[in-house]
């Protein structure tokens, strides 16, 4: 199993989504950059124990109140300079990524990476269950476009359908970027279609439409 990740710290899609975060744009960009770093860690790790050690280091560095651990790591330094750490949902977020190393657990990955990432982007731990569910659907959709195992990609989309929101929640204005991310995924999930590996013209136009119309 191989996860394909961009060499850039921030993908074009993440950059566009961050632009809709209003005054929170700088924090959103850092959260997405961290997520990309975690993806690269998974892509370059095959042993679960090694992965646990690497993710434990990131957890320790991002939660170190003394500010000593991780000094010199650009992303950690930037988080501290912005006063944005530790991110909400960090432990859950890391557990989700770790679930892809060795024997893949899509359930843990979905609620961990998706729920943790959406918590981090929301900037609070006390988010409603539906937002965790939306994050899980988005994470499974995203994985389907970045994994070379087509069987797992298909399973991810099937599972994402189970996490689609059955009702239409009221998305707070400050969660606009999260709403856009979810609805981008929802479109493909409804059609049983995997995510594109990058920002295609069709995905860009869909993003603009969702941003303008809300769906």
Measured N-to-C along each axis, helices 129-144 and 150-163 cross at an angle, to the nearest 10 degrees, of: 160
Cα angle for residues 11, 38, 95 (degrees, 5° grid): 135
DSSP 87: P
pLDDT bucket at 211, cuts 50 / 70 / 90: confident
DSSP 85: -
Q: Where are the domains of the chain?
A: 12-213
Contact 10, 36 (CB under 8 A): yes
Average pLDDT value for the chain: 92
pLDDT digits (tens, 9 = 90+) for 141-163: 999 999 999 999 999 999 999 99
Return the sign of the alpha-carbon dihedral for residues 170, 174, 176, 181: negative
pLDDT digits (tens, 9 = 90+) for 14-73: 999 999 999 999 999 999 999 999 999 999 998 999 999 999 999 999 999 888 999 999
Q: How far apart are CA 169 and CA 171, in angstroms?
A: 6
């Amino acid at each position: 199993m191989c996860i394909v990740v961009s060499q850039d710290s921030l993908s074009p899609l993440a950059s566009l989504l961050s632009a809709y975060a209003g005054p929170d744009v700088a924090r959103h960009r850092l959260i997405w950059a961290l997520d990309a770093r975690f993806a690269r860690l998974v892509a370059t790790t095959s042993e679960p124990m090694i992965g646990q050690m690497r993710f434990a280091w990131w957890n320790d560095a991002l939660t170190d109140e003394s500010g000593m651990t991780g000094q010199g790591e650009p992303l950690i330094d930037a988080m501290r300079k912005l006063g944005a750490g530790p991110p909400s949902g960090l432990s859950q977020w890391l557990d989700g990524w770790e679930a892809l190393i060795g024997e893949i657990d899509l359930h843990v990955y979905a609620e961990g990476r998706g729920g943790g990432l959406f918590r981090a982007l929301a900037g609070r731990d006390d988010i409603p269950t539906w937002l965790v569910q939306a994050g899980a659907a988005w994470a499974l959709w995203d994985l389907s476009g970045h994994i070379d195992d087509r069987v797992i990609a298909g399973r991810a989309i099937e599972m994402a359908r189970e996490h689609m929101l059955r009702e239409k929640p009221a998305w707070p204005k400050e969660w606009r970027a999260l709403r856009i991310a979810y609805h981008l995924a929802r479109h493909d999930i409804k059609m049983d279609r995997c995510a594109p590996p990058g920002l295609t013209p069709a995905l860009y136009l869909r993003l603009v439409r969702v941003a303008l119309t809300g769906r």
